[in-house]
Amino acid sequence: MATTTPSDLMKFVRDLHDPDVYRSLNWEGTFEEYLGLVAENPRALRTAFQRVFDMILSFGKEDYSEHKERVVKYTFFSDPLGDGQDAIYGLDRALMTLVNVLSSAAHRYGTEKRVLLLHGPVGSSKSTIVRLIKRGMEHYSRSDEGVLYTFSWVLPGEDGETEVHPCPMHEEPFRLIPAANRAAALDRLLGKERDGHPVEVAGELCPFCRFTMTQLLNRYEGDWNRVIGHVKVRRMLLSEQDRVGIGTFQPKDEKNQDSTELTGDINYAKIAQYGSDSDPRAFNFDGEFNIANRGVVEFIEVLKLDVAFLYDLLGASQEHSIKPKKFAQTDIDEVIIGHTNEPEYRKLQNNEFMEALRDRTVKIDVPYCTRLDDEIRIYQKDYGEIEGKHMAPHTIELAGMWAVLTRLEEPKNAKLTPIQKLKLYNGKTLPGFTEDNIRELRAEAMREGLTGISPRYVQDKLSNALVDDSHEACVNPFMVINELDRGLDHHSLISDEETRKRYRELIAAVKQEYEDMAKNEVQRAICADEESIQKLCANYIDNIKAYTQKERVRNRYTNQDEEPDERLMRSIEEKIGIQESLKDDFRREIMNYIGALAIEGKTFSYRTNERLHKALELKLFEDQKDTIKLKSLVSSVVDKDTQAKIDVVKTRMIENYGYCEVCATDVLNYVASIFARGDVQES
């Protein structure tokens, strides 16, 4: 049933369209009014590189340290405009390199004369980065901070009616001032001391505008003031859909490629009207370079371009000009971003005819994630909450773990396993490894992240597991791991058996890691009885106090004094590797710790000492797992008392660790089978 009337809905929609906002975004005025706006806001004269750089910074940034190195995270690449749908994870270093190149170009240090080439394996977010930049520029041009202008010619038509002819390349109106007078005009308008990026309006008018201005100057005998009266300046809004300031080019079949797609083509229908194919009025300045002027042009798989296209690309990057058919060099101002994969880039390196392009290219590596937490966030975004399906704990984590492992190089340190290397990269600490060691690991594996499994493959397998009707309402880690394993036989990007074998070995390593995770989680659920841990802790403290002070312990049940329970103390200490020869030191350490707290007026709790806490949990787990007979789960008969205790553990797993009824039962059965297997091995 409708919750509102049609008239109410109409009012709601009408209110969304603010006429004042529309008028602001579609401002039109004279050239003189435009100069007044520029005097108030010189940033309107920025180059395309300056505008892209400022747009990214406008969303903010934060600095952090990773392995003793400064890293900058730019908020823009978290996709605040799209509510995080295109957020990029784990590529802060690559994005920092990209923004540094843009910063250099914004200050005119040389990189503004280069093609920005995003290079990386398939599925590493290259297209997403460019898509974000294009969308960001659209949004930025609609803000007060990102305002920019272009112009139209208002001319009398043949029938006496006024005709409006927009500049076909959306040029900066300041170019209407002759180049020889432009610098002086800028100094007069803005003053010689200017903050921020260097302000310079370079380049000549496009052929159409140059032709029109020449015609008008001839008509008015060189009176520039009367010529400029035919100019109407308007605000410019970048839009990929409207082909204004944002262009995209994707190579077609080599036989059908035509360079006029980049630089425009003759309009044969107008040749008869104007009498010549070299008249700019008979030319469509609608190539991707033309329409992307003042903004960004994206080249998809840029290295697949035909050689004829590459010539245009060289001039567009180095000289900031293009050569339309039948016309002189035409100035442009745009950021050229291409992206390509590894095989295509290797072809470029091996092609001696491509030296000019290589020399005009800034390569920015965009690798896969090599940090587990970031990889998890990629999948969590899409599969964190699925209606009608529950994703068991660690399912996404293990899929991400395997994906990251395929991208890491084998550690040169024989004592370090791939899993341990993954944990170090993820911010964990391991005995004997410092921040400097981790930096050395990264330095010796410069190509890490440029090979391995794509996130798309993992996403496909997660999807398969979710839609498999043979599964219950819960998807567990083994379902996804099995999908990942089966898919390797038909993976189109695995070309040799050695790689396939290595990936399967990593799947086995991930399964072993999950076994440890599951055992640890069940252990914590069993030990979650606060009262039992506190009793065990109190008993242990009473005994080590008597031991260190050479006293006897009062048995609270028999009320008799007895020797400290050495067996109890050692059963706890052995759980954290305290050797017989070091037991006295450990016990004195605990007593000194308790004494120091007492002096400060604080009460001792087992939670304040991490080593003791861990030892108590392990001891309680050892006692409890036998009490609840966890191994009996693999049997078809479970007594009521055991079942009640298992239900308590299951409830804790559901409430504390995110399990559902199905996967909590599954993981308890799995851990039970591990213990049963252990009994067989020991006998």
Q: Which two tokens stand for residue 110?
A: 């040389």
Specify the pLDDT at position 461: 93
> What stretch of H or E contains 402?
helix 395-407
The ranges assigned to domains in the chain are 16-39+149-184+195-235, 372-525, 527-623
Q: How far apart are CA 562 and CA 570, in angstroms?
A: 17
Beta bridge partners of 299: 249, 338
Q: How confident is the model at residue 75, as a pLDDT?
A: 96
pLDDT value at residue 656: 84
Q: What is the reported pLDDT for 194?
A: 63
pLDDT given for residue 1 in this prediction: 46
Closest CA to 619 of 571, 664, 655: 571
Amino acid at the residue 455: P
What is the structure's pLDDT at 399? 96
**Cα end-to-end distance, the chain, whole Å:** 69
CA dist., res. 152 & res. 173, Å (int): 9
Q: How many CA atoms lie within 13 A of 268 on its CB side?
A: 0
Sign of CA dihedral 382, 388, 392, 393: positive
Phi, psi for residue 32 in degrees, rounded to 5: -65, -40
Q: Which neighbouring-strand residues pair with 234?
A: 28, 150
- DSSP 3-state of 144: coil
Question: Looking at 290-422, which runs of residues are DSSP E strands?
Answer: 296-300, 321-322, 330-331, 335-340, 361-365, 390-391
Residues 6+ apart with CB under 8 A from 389: 466, 473, 474, 475
pLDDT, position 629: 56
Specify the 3-state DSSP secondary structure of 232.
Answer: strand
Check if the beta carbon of residue 206 is closer than 8 Å to that of residue 330: yes
Task: For residue 352, give every residue at least 6 positions away whose Cβ sits within 8 Å of its Cβ, in sequence order, or none.
Answer: none
* Paired tokens of 261: 């797609």
For residue 205, the cross-strand partners are: none
Q: What is the pLDDT of residue 627?
A: 54
> What local confidence, expressed as pLDDT, does residue 273 receive?
86
In sequence order, what are the beta bridge partners of 365?
119
pLDDT score of 103: 95
| Dihedral sign, Cα of residue 599, residue 602, residue 605, residue 607 | negative
Give φ, ψ of 234 to 5 degrees: -140, 160
**How do residues 393-444 score in pLDDT, each as one tens digit?**
999 999 999 999 999 999 888 789 999 999 999 988 777 788 888 888 888 8
With a cut of 50, which residues of the chain have pLDDT below it? Answer: 1, 634, 679-683
Give pLDDT, residue 628: 55
